[in-house]
Structure 1
Amino acid sequence: MSVEIKLSRSNRTYRPHEPLQGKIITKFPSSVSHRGIHLTVNGSVNLQVRGGSAGLIESLYGVLKPIPILKKSIEVEPCGKISAGTTQIPFSIILKHKEEDTKFYETFHGANINIQYLLTVDVVRGYLHKSLSATVEFIIESELGGHPEKPVSPEMVFFYITQDTQRHSLLHELKSGGFKVSGRICTQCLVGDPLVGEVTVEASAVPIYSIDIHLLRVESIMVGEKIATETSVLQTTQIADGDVCRSICLPVYVILPRLLTCPTVFAGPFSVEFKVTIVVTFQTELYNVQPKSDPRAFRKWVAMESLPLELVQSQ
């Protein structure tokens, strides 16, 4: 005896103005009477503040009250009976009517901010029987009208990394010998497109161990009169392994994780931003003995450059 929801699209991705369609599939060994089959759509922004991203007073708030986005219910079938075997019941729900001004945020799963849309089916039975339920998550992308058309080319920013651009202490051999890594990288791109750019090692007295691209998310939550902000690494991509040849252009091509990213959001009680960090690790004896648990930590044998990354949705 089971109930499940199968949406019309395999990627479960919809825009607010599009109907949410699919089928309710029931599998019963014998016919079952019910008092109605109901569908409920829930969308909300769930916020939490952890001790690592705020002070003692802010951390006491813990999980904050969710911000509701959407809640709709429809009756798919009135009281009746479902036959034995497999039965498919089609449904269609309008998420947003033209006259409604509900603000839909794109689906996002972060460390402290979770924007989620759920569809739940309930087969209501008698008082002596427990209702049969099933829930599925679907993905919301922003509406077309609020975003620019796809740009011809991504916005590129030039950067360079030397011993003079670092705000943390470096090993003596790095400061005395010197190094220079230059390149350009995209700082505004579409959520569905890869992050592109290029990196060139122009000079380095110390051999290079690796060059990595860190994708960071910056989540900010308004707690009382303060803002609790936490930055976390959501993806690391290695673009060079070993002491690369000098003056050779290395391409950067990073696929963005869809559910862990979304268009940059600046809402009242919360915001979601992103950064991209180019990290150059040098070959030293300390590299093998020091802990590497946090890739954002400043280390004497590492040079880095961080740039803001704006993600947008296109038509």
Structure 2
Amino acid sequence: MSVELKLSRSNRIYRPSEALEGKIVFKTQSSIYHYGIRLTVKGSVNLQVRGGSAGVVESFYGVIKPIPIVNRITEIKSSGKIGLGTSEIPFSLKLREQEGNLERFYETFHGANISIQYLVTVDIPRGYLHKSLSATTEFIVESDKADLPQRPLSPEMVIFYITQDTQRHSLLHELKSGGFRVTGKISTQCSLSGTISGELTVEASAVPIQAIDIQLFRVESILLGEKIVTETSLIQTTQIADGDVCRCLTLPIYVILPRLLTCPTTLAGPFSIEFKVAIVISFQSELSKLHKKSDLKTPRLWMAMETLPLELVRAK
């Protein structure tokens, strides 16, 4: 015998104002008696501090107490029998209990230290002499359309400039003495389904440029006592120039956001999910051959970069 939960939507995406719908599918080789069929919908924010990120003291905390979002139990059927063969029981549950309810549903997210998850579980107790039946499946929560900004989202352009004097790490002597200057503008607010756009101009450089890349980072932060623990993950690297770039040549910046970005910028109490965009310039150097070309996250002697906060929103 088996029990399975099948949701009405193949992508399993629902909004807080909508009903979670589906069916409970039973497959049995004989009729069975049960003491009720109950559905439980649970949602929570789970905060986990990893030893490598938090250090020795914080690693003792392990997992911080989860933040509950929703916890609702609904009886679908009272005691009775399930017949031989395949049986289906439909269900429909409102995620928000009332229209005026102030429950805050964060969007589903699975990161390094933060996980926002929603589960629906069916439980069928069968008494002391028989094993209870249960099944669990995850569903995805996105923001209500009424809470989303109207399209098109006006891009917020930020002007940047990158020189030897804006870098906080050590540079090659010829870069420090000869100097370089790269200017441009880039959008720092955009839709999850949109693009990061802008332009960049190499005005001067004492050393030939090897490549220019645009990097996208996700930053997860947890408030632990009086300390903020942060985990930064590189999501995507897009190269916009390869080889020496002529001076005064303006390059377009056009980065398509990856589909794995399923959560917008979130700032809520003891946790936050933020994003950053970095313009990384790699100069030609024999030293660069000793390191992985893909390792752009760590500042090197032959690299210059500018990192800006990026606000990602879900639009209609």
The TM-score normalised by the length of structure 2 is 0.88
Q: Is the 8 A contact 1:194 1:256 kept in 2?
A: no
Name the CA shift for 1:285/1:74 in 2 (closer, same or farther; >3 Å): same
Question: Quick one: distance in 2 between partners of 1:123 and 1:295?
Answer: 53
Task: Give me the whole-angstrom Cα distance separating, in 2, the residues matched to 1:293 and 1:248.
Answer: 24
Q: Matched residues in 2 for 1:135 and 1:242: separation?
A: 52
State how many pairs are aligned: 314
Q: Structure 1 residue 300: deviation in Å?
A: 0.7
2:252 equivalent in structure 1: 250
Q: Is residue 2:13 matched to residue 1:13?
A: yes
- Quick one: distance in 2 between partners of 1:30 and 1:245? 78
Cα deviations by residue, 1:48-75 (Å, 9 ceiling, x for unpaired): 2223433433332121010101001112
Q: Which residue of 1 aligns with 2:144?
A: 143
Measure, in 1, the Cα distance between the counterparts of 2:198 and 2:85.
55
1:122 paired with 2:98, answer: no
Change (3 A) 1:31 1:288: farther
Aligned ranges 1:4-83 → 2 under 5 Å:
4-83=4-83
> Taking structure 1 as reference, are residues 161 and 127 closer, same or farther at Cα in structure 2, changes over 3 Å only?
same
- Does the residue aligned with 1:164 lie in a helix, a strand or coil? helix
Q: Residue deviations 1:123-155, cap 9 Å, x none? A: 333323322222221111223444433344311
Unpaired stretches in structure 1, ≥5 consecutive residues: none
Which AA in structure 1 matches 2:80?
G
The whole-number CA distance in structure 2 between the counterparts of 1:189 and 1:292 is 29
1:173 corresponding residue in structure 2? 174
SS in 2 for 1:54: helix
Answer with 86-95 or 137-146: which moved more: 137-146
TM score, norm. by length of structure 1: 0.88
Structure 1 residues 29, 195: CA separation in 2 closer, same or farther (over 3 Å shift)? farther
Deviation for aligned residue 1:261:
4.7
Q: Check whether the contact 1:47–1:221 (CA below 8 A) recurs between aligned residues.
A: yes
Cα offset for 1:203?
Answer: 4.1
Q: CA deviation at 1:7?
A: 1.6
- Structure 1 pair 2/212, CA: closer, same or farther in 2 (3 Å)? farther
Alpha-carbon spacing, 1:64–1:292, altered in 2? closer, same or farther (3 Å): farther
Percent sequence identity is 65
Once the two structures are TM-superposed, the CA of residue 3 in structure 1 deviates from its matched residue by 2.4
Q: Is the 8 A contact 1:199 1:252 kept in 2?
A: no
Listed one character per residue, the Cα deviations across residues 238-284 of structure 1 (whole Å, up to 9, x for unaligned) are 333333555142332222444x5522222222222211111122232
Taking the aligned partners of 1:88 and 1:285, their CA distance within structure 2 comes to 67
CA RMSD for the aligned pairs?
Answer: 2.5
| Cα deviation, residue 305, structure 1 | 0.7
CA distance in 2, matches of 1:27, 1:242: 62
CA drift at 1:288? 2.0
Deviation at 1:205, TM superposition (A): 4.2
Cα 1:23–1:238 shift into 2, 3 Å: farther
After superposing the two structures, state which structure 1 stretch, 183-192 or 270-279, moved more: 183-192
* CA deviation profile, 1:3-30 (whole Å, cap 9, x unmatched): 2222222222111111111122233344
C-alpha distance in 2 between matches for 1:28 and 1:198: 63
Q: Which amino acid aligns with 2:104?
A: K
- 2:86 is aligned to 86
Between 1:201-210 and 1:301-310, the stretch displaced more is 201-210
**C-alpha displacement of 1:95:** 0.7
| Cα distance in 2 for residues equivalent to 1:183 and 1:81 | 70
Name the SS of the counterpart of 2:288 in structure 1.
Answer: helix
